[in-house]
């Protein structure tokens, strides 16, 4: 009886081991820690000056990636080139005028933030929308109008859910009334300091997204012939007490051309080569600080040097597999995109303006943006990665992702940021979003927000290369399964 149990245990154990495909594991092991470290040491070095979009450092990074693709023998898919040229337009400080409620506001009462432009003087109905909460927005129609909302001192302009909700409800213009005069002065000063660094794909035309005006609390009170205190009390169930009015404004942008490029390497599939998997990361970062002491270069080792080198290592593994007779059935496009830090512009250029391969033939986008570190929430965690968006468009993709991870890498998949209504709104904040909005199923791999995010201290010596390797291998196994299965991944029926 004991011998029978022993044999049974060995069979079960063998079954667990052989659940992994030895061939797939062989090529997954080609995603190597040493390669990742070698690539990242170059990409995040001071010589590349923080890889800001349109700069010498960004062009050096693009050349490094293109050279790697050429050395591997990937096909150059853009008219015989690895570079997909992208022209962006950098805006300086715009010329702006602004009045509301019959009052011409002074430059000490408002500041403009955005890349919008008007065709001359524009007037819109203006409504008070409280704090932009669901309760407030249920009481007021903002579609096609300008809307003022109150903004607390701790709220973010970049990732403010209330602003997102107003955009979703098709507000034409968002106006933020700050919580205090001091908050307004501080934030306005910061905006003035960093104005002129915005970029866009369009130049000079009137925009559906007109940007944002920031106003002082006293200005908000005067606009509605009220006081800041009364406006605060009107939020919730008392919005009707604040009567609508009108606003008029001009926004005249000044633009300079910025030449940059996405970098693409193509691996042709076999019997299903017309179907394409796109694996992305952004290779740009935020460049150098304008002034200060000490280290001024934002090297971006994690953001997104880690994702960039992961894509480069995945290309290694798939190319080796193909050379040894195990090439993918579906084609794979390895794409390092520009302009992510300027508003997901390189990936939007690809999806909305010039897709090299038809989006209807694009099966999945796997996007890798910051995978080299651990965040404070996982200080004592087993190896993990945040997984975002896998279930948003395709249940089939989500289940495949889970199964492949359990089979090969067994990372802890953390879905904290997968909620589309999470305050950080990460589903909308990296390059996968431009594929997702076009109904291409996506997975976004992410390590969390750590203390060195967008700082010169995001350095190579803080990268956890063992963890980076595991995460990159997880993406490899997922891509392999998608590329070689009989049926393509499809979006869920709507």
Quick: pLDDT tens for 337-371.
999 999 999 999 999 999 999 999 999 999 999 99
Q: Is the backbone peptide bond immediately before 348 cis, with ω within 30 degrees of 0?
A: no
Question: Token pair of 59, please?
Answer: 């062009």
Q: Return the DSSP state at 278.
A: E
- Which region, left, alpha or beta, applies to residue 454 given φ > 0 means left and ψ of -120 to 50 means alpha? left
- Tell me the whole-structure pTM to 2 decimals: 0.78
Pairing of strands 384-388, 442-446: antiparallel
Sign of CA dihedral 390, 391, 393, 397: positive
Domains, the chain, with CATH or none: 22-90+257-484 (3.40.630.10), 93-253 (3.50.30.30)
Q: What percent of the chain has pLDDT over 90?
A: 80
pLDDT digits (tens, 9 = 90+) for 427-450: 999 999 999 999 999 999 999 999
CA 46/CA 43 separation, integer angstroms: 9
**Apex CA 262: angle with CA 259 and CA 268, to 5°?**
150
Per-residue confidence (pLDDT) for residue 14, from 0 to 100: 41
Per-residue confidence (pLDDT) for residue 157, from 0 to 100: 67
Please give the residue that has the higher pLDDT: either 75 or 200: 75
How far apart, in Å, do the first and last CA atoms of the chain sit? 55
For residue 293, the tally of other CB atoms under 10 A from its CB is 6
Contact 346, 339 (CB under 8 A): yes
Any idea how long the chain is?
494
Per-residue confidence (pLDDT) for residue 1, from 0 to 100: 47
Burial of 453 (0-12, 13-18, 19+ CB in 10 A): middle
Q: Return the DSSP state at 351.
A: I
The beta-carbon contacts of 152-161 under 8 Å, at least 24 apart in sequence, are: 152/179, 153/178, 153/179, 153/180, 153/183, 157/113, 157/187, 157/212, 157/214, 159/423, 159/424, 159/425, 159/429, 160/132, 161/132, 161/421, 161/423, 161/425
- Which region, left, alpha or beta, applies to residue 134 given φ > 0 means left and ψ of -120 to 50 means alpha? alpha
Contact 110, 264 (CB under 8 A): no
CA 240/CA 148 separation, integer angstroms: 14
**Apex CA 448: angle with CA 446 and CA 451, to 5°?**
140
Contact 200, 114 (CB under 8 A): no
Question: What's the distance, CA 255 to chain centroid?
Answer: 24
CA 389/CA 436 separation, integer angstroms: 9
- Give one DSSP letter per residue of 282-336, joined into a string: E--B--B-SS-SS--B---IIIIIIHHHHHHHHHHHHHHHHHTT---SEEEEEEE
Which of 4-13, 283-292, 400-409 tops mean pLDDT? 400-409
pLDDT digits (tens, 9 = 90+) for 228-244: 999 999 998 889 899 99
Sign of CA dihedral 473, 478, 479, 480: positive
The beta-carbon contacts of 346-350 under 8 Å, at least 24 apart in sequence, are: 346/86, 346/260, 346/262, 346/282, 346/284, 346/431, 347/262, 347/280, 347/282, 347/431, 347/432, 347/433, 347/434, 347/435, 348/201, 348/434, 349/84, 349/86, 349/201, 349/262, 350/84, 350/262, 350/434
Please give the residue that has the higher pLDDT: either 197 or 176: 176
pLDDT digits (tens, 9 = 90+) for 286-325: 999 988 889 999 999 999 999 999 999 999 999 999 999 9
Per-residue confidence (pLDDT) for residue 10, from 0 to 100: 43
Q: Return the DSSP state at 350.
A: I
- Which region, left, alpha or beta, applies to residue 280 given φ > 0 means left and ψ of -120 to 50 means alpha? beta
Please give the residue that has the higher pLDDT: either 418 or 198: 418
Q: State the chain's mean pLDDT as an integer.
A: 92
């Amino acid at each position: 009886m004991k011998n029978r149990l022993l044999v049974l245990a060995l069979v079960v154990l063998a079954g667990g081991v052989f659940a992994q495909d030895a061939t797939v594991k062989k090529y997954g092991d080609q995603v190597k820690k040493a390669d990742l470290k070698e690539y990242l040491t170059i990409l995040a070095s001071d010589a590349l000056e923080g890889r800001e979009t349109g700069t010498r450092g960004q062009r050096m990074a693009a050349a490094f990636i293109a050279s790697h693709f050429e050395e591997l023998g990937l096909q150059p898919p853009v008219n015989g080139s690895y570079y997909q040229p992208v022209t962006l337009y950098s805006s300086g400080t715009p010329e702006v005028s602004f009045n509301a409620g019959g009052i011409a506001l002074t430059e000490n009462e408002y500041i403009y933030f955005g890349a919008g432009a008007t065709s001359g003087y524009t007037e819109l109905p203006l409504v008070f929308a409280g704090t932009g909460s669901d309760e407030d927005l249920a009481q007021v129609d903002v579609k096609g109008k300008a809307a003022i909302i109150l903004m607390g001192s701790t709220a973010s302009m970049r990732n403010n859910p209330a602003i997102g909700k107003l955009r979703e409800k098709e507000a034409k213009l968002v106006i933020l009334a700050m919580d205090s005069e001091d908050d307004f002065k501080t934030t306005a000063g910061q905006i003035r300091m960093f104005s002129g660094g915005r970029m866009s794909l369009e130049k000079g035309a009137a925009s559906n997204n007109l940007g944002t005006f920031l106003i002082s609390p006293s200005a908000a009170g005067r606009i509605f012939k009220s006081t800041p205190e009364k406006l605060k009390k009107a939020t919730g169930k008392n919005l009707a007490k604040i009567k609508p009015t009108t606003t008029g404004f001009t926004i005249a942008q000044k633009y300079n051309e910025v030449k940059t490029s996405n970098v693409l390497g193509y691996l042709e599939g076999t019997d299903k080569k017309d179907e394409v998997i796109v694996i992305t990361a952004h290779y740009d970062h935020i460049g150098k600080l304008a002034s200060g002491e000490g280290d001024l270069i934002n090297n971006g080792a994690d953001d997104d040097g880690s994702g960039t080198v992961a894509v480069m290592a995945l290309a290694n593994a798939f190319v080796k597999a193909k050379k040894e007779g195990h090439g993918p059935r579906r084609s794979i496009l390895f794409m390092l995109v520009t302009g992510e830090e300027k508003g997901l512009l390189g990936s939007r250029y690809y999806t909305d303006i010039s897709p090299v391969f038809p989006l209807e033939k694009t099966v999945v986008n796997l996007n890798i943006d910051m995978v080299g570190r651990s965040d404070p929430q996982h200080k004592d965690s087993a190896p993990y990665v945040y997984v975002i968006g896998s279930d948003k468009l395709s249940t089939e993709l989500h289940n495949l992702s889970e199964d492949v991870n359990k089979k090969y890498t067994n990372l802890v998949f953390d879905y904290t940021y997968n909620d589309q209504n999470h305050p950080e709104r990460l589903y909308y904040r990296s390059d996968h979003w431009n594929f997702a909005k076009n109904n291409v199923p996506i997975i976004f791999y992410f390590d969390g927000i750590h203390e060195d995010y967008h700082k010169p201290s995001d350095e190579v010596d803080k990268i956890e290369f063992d963890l980076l390797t595991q995460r990159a291998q997880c993406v490899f196994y997922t891509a392999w399964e998608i590329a070689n299965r009989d049926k393509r991944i499809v979006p869920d029926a709507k």
